[in-house]
Structure 1
């Protein structure tokens, strides 16, 4: 029931967002345009309306929904996987690796395909480094795995700073800084189609594994006792999360806090059972990032970088959610 209500709210929010911007279109008119394009070609649609709705706003909104849902689902998955509510999808260093690939592509003037490919390759390379480092230090130790992620993340963050230091301050450096702050301003159908496959496939497979993530959240020993092959499953899940996060960073830069905050909202709403909490996180994440992106593109005459808003909004929201969670825990 709750999931159904969330889906209805998300659908209404997405349609409303299609009409919000410098060129305002009423909710009813947006519905007419959408229905007219699908079923009734005789409904009059001006070229401006068609361009605003279908060319400018729709790919951006769909990309925002994909990114928000993917990040939130990844966060919920990671928190269950590591049994730690303070873990987010960036903990494996994938975001930093993908960011390094992106700034490297900007430095060498690669095409948008080159930027996407470079971000994706270095994002997955970060995961490989985490795997190697974890194997050298302490295999089958969850804490060592998290620490390996922190080390790799710090390493790639240093490389990002190095590339920025070497970049041309007139042209390349501003482009890098704006890209790293996060934005869907350059969203189009081409970018949407490029990243839809890894994000959708990764999300669907994670949803299919949510009952196994429930078992992993009990602890490795209990999961093994219930017949789960812990290590292969953990790395399969990490690869899926890495694909989602790397694809998101490739098209919109680093977007923080979504994967950390939203799972707590979902947990407050539907409880800790991952079979319900993960789908709820997916929907709430899409709704959350859609709302923030709508503010980012409409609050001022020039667009506000998404990373700034997600941090400004995410930190107080996270503090409030943690406070409510602590109250609920004390009340048990």
Structure 2
């Protein structure tokens, strides 16, 4: 009789939680101005008890205003993009679904490009990106409701169509942009980066992410039921239409919030859910917490590479593509587990 080699889900979650803590602490020490573990403990402890500073004052300013906000934002963005991808893969029963399946990222790119073209501040670029991300998905949903056929298929096809329109709009804005400063700014934003992370960014996205992720956590068992099939879900008393709508709204909200402050970071929401399934299985009761932790760990590691490997920072979107694309080719080649 074949033994079940899969580890206990709770044990896996504990290990992932501890790993996230270790990676986060290690990330706080890395950068152009390295901070030793002793200095790190001293800087943090000095906020609670009196400690005579034995570190450079500039180092403390960098820690609180630059490095810590960036680490927190990497954790939030990585978690939310991964959860959104897992949700869309579940409710659409499509292993190739990603957070951008309904056009959230393309809408955000258009909004950011429009704001950059109008010389908006960094905060207004984020607000514009968030607004147009929500608007794009809203248009997709309204268009799909006009269809008399398969609503899920209509939603996906509407996403492709509306995304194409917003992509065309972004291309037009890039054409109209000043090639000396506006065009490079738009291009860099679309590559994805956390280089400008600040406390203001966290204050902007954290409430939105909490509002979006709370319903997902509450309804995660219903996503598991939906993955079993439409008829089975209805037989178990699940209102599939309502659950899908709530999950779409919630996943879109956390995706829009993430992209508005990080730019377009691809592959995270596509790859991490699959890796999490390998570790913990397809039960969304455990899969959602696993993707939260795994996504945060993944983006933290990628961000560490982004800001430490070269003298100039590498956009995160480039690195995630280098990692994500070969991984998916591996899965599609048949050497990996089934999608």
TM score, norm. by length of structure 1? 0.94
**Correspondence for 1:145 among 130, 142, 155:** 155
1:274 — aligned with what? 284
- Deviation at 1:28? 4.0
Looking at structure 1, the residues matched to 332 and 275 of structure 2 have their Cα atoms a distance apart, in angstroms, of 9
Preserved contact between residue 331 and residue 337 of structure 2 (Cα < 8 Å):
no
Preserved contact between residue 10 and residue 283 of structure 1 (Cα < 8 Å):
yes
Q: Map 1:245-256 onto structure 2 (within 5 A).
A: 245-256=255-266
Query: Aligned pair in 2 of structure 1 residues 192, 282: CA closer, same or farther (>3 Å)?
Result: same
Preserved contact between residue 215 and residue 246 of structure 2 (Cα < 8 Å):
no
- Deviation at 1:153? 1.2
Q: Greater helix percent: which structure?
A: 1
Question: Which sections of structure 2, spanning at least 5 residues, go unmatched?
Answer: 1-10
Question: Which sections of structure 1, spanning at least 5 residues, go unmatched?
Answer: none
TM score, norm. by length of structure 2? 0.92
Q: Is 1:319 paired with 2:329? A: yes
Q: Secondary structure at the match of 2:67?
A: helix
Q: Is 1:189 paired with 2:176? A: no
Q: Secondary structure at the match of 1:38?
A: coil
Looking at structure 2, the residues matched to 142 and 239 of structure 1 have their Cα atoms a distance apart, in angstroms, of 15
1:204 — aligned with what? 214
**Correspondence for 1:242 among 235, 238, 252:** 252
Larger deviation, residues 215-224 vs 292-301? 215-224
CA-based RMSD of the aligned residues comes to 1.8
- Deviation at 1:206? 1.0
Looking at structure 2, the residues matched to 253 and 135 of structure 1 have their Cα atoms a distance apart, in angstroms, of 29
| Aligned residues between the structures | 329
Preserved contact between residue 258 and residue 314 of structure 1 (Cα < 8 Å):
yes
Looking at structure 2, the residues matched to 329 and 172 of structure 1 have their Cα atoms a distance apart, in angstroms, of 44
Structure 1, residues 68-99: CA drift from partner, whole Å, max 9, x if none?
00000111111111111111110001110111
**Correspondence for 1:233 among 240, 243, 250:** 243
Looking at structure 2, the residues matched to 237 and 17 of structure 1 have their Cα atoms a distance apart, in angstroms, of 32
